[in-house]
Amino acid sequence: MKYGMNTLLFEARFTNDAVINFPKFKEIGFDGVEIALQEKGDIDTALVKDKLSENGLACGSLCALMGAGTDLRGPGKESIENGKQYIRDLIDTAVEIGAQVIVGPLYSAVGRAEMVEAAQRKTDWQLVKRGLKEVCAYAEDKGIYLALEPLNRFETDFINICADALRMIDEVGSSMLKVHLDTFHMNIEEKSSADAIRAAGDLLYLLHASENDRGAPGTGQVSWESIAEALRDVQYDRWVVIESFTPEVEIIARAASIWRQTEKDGWALAEKGLKYIKDLFGD
């Protein structure tokens, strides 16, 4: 098992300046970081890779920030093409920085949650499937995995549970398309987070660890013991990444509805959360 920290806890937009946090990540005990990248040109990949290596860290994953205008459902051809190009840019960046997998809601813009007619939902499904087939072909050439993250009902109406992601993976038919599960979203949507992990099995390529209130893992109501048991059952040994937020990064706090502080600050959250999941999940 390897443990990472999603950079959104500390900055809304990851740039070269963010490498200043790398020594602290290492000091706390993280194995690496998950970089949330808005645009390919936001970082000098050689510089960031060097700074990671200098601090004994890795970039295990890139986190896709699908926003308005980058959506495989549209509306319109431009939004779909922008979405595909953004994913291709992330794949190129992953190659350059040494990341293994790109994670997140690669199918649609975060926050797009609507009551959609059945006919339109079928059309949207086919659009996303077609788009994912294209980007997966690119990922196959580059050797980078893509992992679909189900989001809760308030952030998407499209893929909410693991079964949805597994259906899309089956229909796309690419060996590079995998599952990314998040304990916060599962706590809202799944009947059993542990059963969702078991259903994903060896298709699970990344786990986001976050409490039910988006705080430090181990401080709330998420059923961590059952999640740990399920991870052992599927012999999961890939990255576990803390993705939690505080009000300190205002743009992210607004987007994720973080209206109160759950810890002293982001560093306290990171340290407490990492200790808990390391003690529970082991190495």
pLDDT at 127: 97
151 and 105 in contact (C-beta within 8 Å)? yes
Q: What is the β-pairing status of strands 101-104 and 177-182?
A: unpaired
Number of domains the chain is built from: 1
* CATH (domain of 19): 3.20.20.150
Domain assignment of residue 102, given as a range: 2-281
The angle at the Cα of 78, spanning 75 to 80, to the nearest 5 degrees, equals 65
pLDDT at 3: 98
Q: Which of 34, 149, 155, 190 is catalytic?
A: 149
pLDDT at 99: 97
273 and 244 in contact (C-beta within 8 Å)? yes
Secondary structure letter of residue 30 according to DSSP = -
The two structure tokens encoding residue 281: 């999940």
Letter string b/e over residues 216-236, b meaning 16 or more CB atoms within 10 A of that residue's CB: bbbbbebbbeebbebbeeeeb
Q: Which of 117, 134, 243, 263 is catalytic?
A: 243
Which single residue is written with the structure tokens 């806890």?
9
Query: Residue 280 and residue 283: Cα distance in Å, rounded?
Result: 9
pLDDT in tens, 102-150: 999 999 999 999 998 999 999 999 999 999 999 999 999 999 999 999 9
pLDDT at 281: 96
Beta-carbon contacts of 283 under 8 Å, excluding residues fewer than 6 positions away, are 1
Known catalytic residue at 243? yes
Averaged pLDDT in 10-residue chunks for the chain of 283 residues: 95 95 97 95 96 98 94 95 98 97 97 92 96 98 98 97 98 98 98 98 98 96 98 98 86 80 91 97 88
